């Protein structure tokens, strides 16, 4: 009887008082013993919420329909796509400074709940990338999907439906170029703006609808599997700009295919390069010729910055993506064993395999003094972090693009006796709840 009364709220409108932000960007409220995750609210507000997703559990989800008592942090939303229901700019209704504060609270909460780390403050400080204040037009890599009429759009929140109103994130040059290109229906469109000003456009068949499970986790897992299958099944057809994107940071130039990973925010790559370089050079008792591992190293962005700051450093970049590793090799150095002195070594391998095999190749891969890792959204994982904790490194610098996975990863190190020396966030996706983190940890006995 209680279960029947407590669930089945889809379509109801309830008046709620907003509490704190949750991982994922919604704000929490409570009603009749259930948690309601609300899209479009702000802490402290009294709002009317339409329940639009009730999985029949102790929680449900809704969207704010009207604000009865408004927060002083509320501003006029600026993204037409989000206003039409897209899942892109979910926090443009929150003033930028306040949004960074909420993001810092989410990061601190994840570190405490998942990492089991008693963080010293209620919120982690969150920075603007390279002091770039842009709240629109900052994205240099973006994707769209064309509908049956061939018009490009973005997905509606928690839906496969398309919204064709423009999102404010992409650089206007990308939006204009994609809008002017006729690609036909059912296409996934990739737009990339190089640092030389060249716009690159590519497309391929769009991923079909993914099965909708009862929970958000099952839907995300299905979507992840579908994207992986799609990535293996079909390559990109380039229709504008050519096959090589130019990227520049700190006097270095990389040439990458359009679909190779690079930071989406126009200022994020330079910001992360500076932050990682600073963390490495400040490692206690760092030698003049340190051994440094750059794991999940991509095109070698961090390796380049470290080598600039410490010319004698021996840096090994470990990356499994062929295109990115080729770019790292072309820009920075050669493969392991290359006799040319002072060059960054590049190794195509999964990080797990590299760690498993390293004991068999001590001459090629001596113990590192510093480890840098920038894993994908799912993080490095517990087994990898346990192996890194036992390498003998003095410092680990972890760049995490998801608060939960970052918290889990660094929690493994803290449980092994490591000290969390520094933690701060980066608002690399303005107007959204998404926050990335940089954690610096020192091995037991160091500070």
Selecting among 79, 88, 167, 401, the annotated active-site residue is 401
Q: Where are the alpha helices (DSSP H) in 37-78?
A: none
DSSP at 443: -
In this structure, what are the phi and psi dihedrals at residue 95, rounded to the nearest 5 degrees? -55, 145
319 is in an annotated binding site: yes
Burial class (CB in 10 A: 0-12, 13-18, 19+), 52: middle
d(CA 140, CA 201) in angstroms, rounded, equals 12
374 carries a ligand binding annotation: yes
**DSSP characters for 328-361?**
HHHHHEESTT--STT-EEEEES-HHHHHHHGGG-
**What residues does 420 pair with on adjacent strands?**
441
- Cβ neighbors of 136 (< 8 A, separation 6 or more) are 78, 79, 168, 169, 430, 431
Please check if 48 is assigned to a binding site: no
**How many angstroms separate the CA atoms of 302 and 85, rounded?**
37
Phi, psi of 220 (to 5 degrees): -65, -40
CA 238 to chain centre: 25
d(CA 101, CA 18): 16
Query: Is 26 marked within a binding site?
Result: no
The length of the chain in residues reads: 447
- Catalytic-residue membership of 401: yes
CB 128 within 8 A of CB 77: no
- CA separation, residue 138 to residues 16, 225, 260, 267 (Å): 34, 29, 19, 8
402 touches 378 (CB < 8 A): yes
In angstroms, what is the C-alpha Rg of the chain?
A: 23
CB 435 within 8 A of CB 107: yes
Distance CA 422, CA 118 (A): 13
**Binding-site residues, please?**
263, 296, 319, 374
List the binding residues for S-adenosyl-L-methionine.
Answer: 263, 296, 319, 374
**Active site (catalytic) residues:** 401
């Amino acid at each position: 009887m209680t279960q029947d009364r407590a669930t089945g709220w889809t379509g109801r409108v309830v008046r709620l008082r907003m509490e704190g932000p949750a991982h994922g960007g919604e704000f929490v409220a409570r009603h009749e013993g259930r948690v309601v995750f609300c899209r479009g609210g702000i802490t402290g507000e009294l709002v009317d919420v339409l329940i639009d997703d009730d999985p029949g559990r102790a929680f449900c989800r809704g969207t704010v329909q009207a604000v009865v008592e408004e927060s002083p942090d509320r501003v006029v939303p600026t993204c037409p796509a989000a206003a039409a229901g897209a899942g892109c700019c979910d926090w443009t209704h929150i003033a930028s400074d306040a949004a960074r504060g909420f993001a810092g609270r989410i990061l601190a909460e994840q570190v405490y709940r998942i990492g089991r780390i008693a963080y010293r403050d209620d919120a982690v400080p969150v920075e603007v990338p390279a002091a770039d204040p842009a709240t629109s037009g900052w994205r240099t890599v973006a994707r769209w999907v064309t509908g049956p009429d061939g018009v490009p759009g973005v997905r509606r929140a928690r839906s496969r439906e398309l919204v064709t109103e423009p999102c404010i994130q992409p650089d206007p040059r990308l939006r204009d170029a994609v809008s002017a290109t006729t690609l036909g229906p059912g296409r996934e469109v990739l737009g990339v703006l190089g640092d030389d000003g060249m716009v690159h456009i590519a497309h391929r068949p769009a991923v079909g609808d993914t099965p909708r499970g009862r929970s958000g986790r099952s839907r995300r897992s299905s979507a992840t599997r579908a994207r992986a299958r799609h990535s293996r099944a079909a390559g990109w057809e380039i229709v504008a700009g050519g096959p090589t994107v130019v990227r520049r940071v700190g006097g270095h130039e990389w040439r990458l295919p359009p679909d190779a990973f690079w930071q989406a925010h126009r200022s994020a790559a330079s910001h992360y390069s500076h932050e990682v370089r600073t963390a490495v050079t400040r490692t206690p008792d760092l030698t003049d010729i340190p051994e440094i591992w750059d794991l999940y190293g991509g095109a070698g962005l961090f390796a380049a910055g470290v080598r600039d700051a410490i010319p004698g450093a021996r840096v090994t970049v470990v990356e499994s993506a062929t295109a990115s590793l080729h770019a790292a090799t072309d820009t920075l150095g050669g493969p392991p064993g290359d006799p040319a002195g002072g060059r960054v070594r590049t190794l195509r391998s999964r990080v797990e395999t590299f760690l498993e095999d390293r004991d068999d190749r001590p001459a090629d891969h001596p113990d590192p003094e510093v480890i840098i890792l920038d894993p994908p959204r799912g993080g490095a994982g517990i087994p990898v972090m346990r192996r890194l904790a036992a390498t003998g490194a003095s410092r680990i610098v972890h760049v995490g693009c998801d608060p939960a996975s970052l918290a889990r990863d660094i929690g493994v190190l803290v449980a092994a006796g490591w000290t969390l020396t520094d933690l701060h966030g980066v608002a690399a996706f303005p107007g959204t709840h998404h926050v990335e983190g940089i954690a610096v940890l020192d091995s037991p006995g160091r500070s």
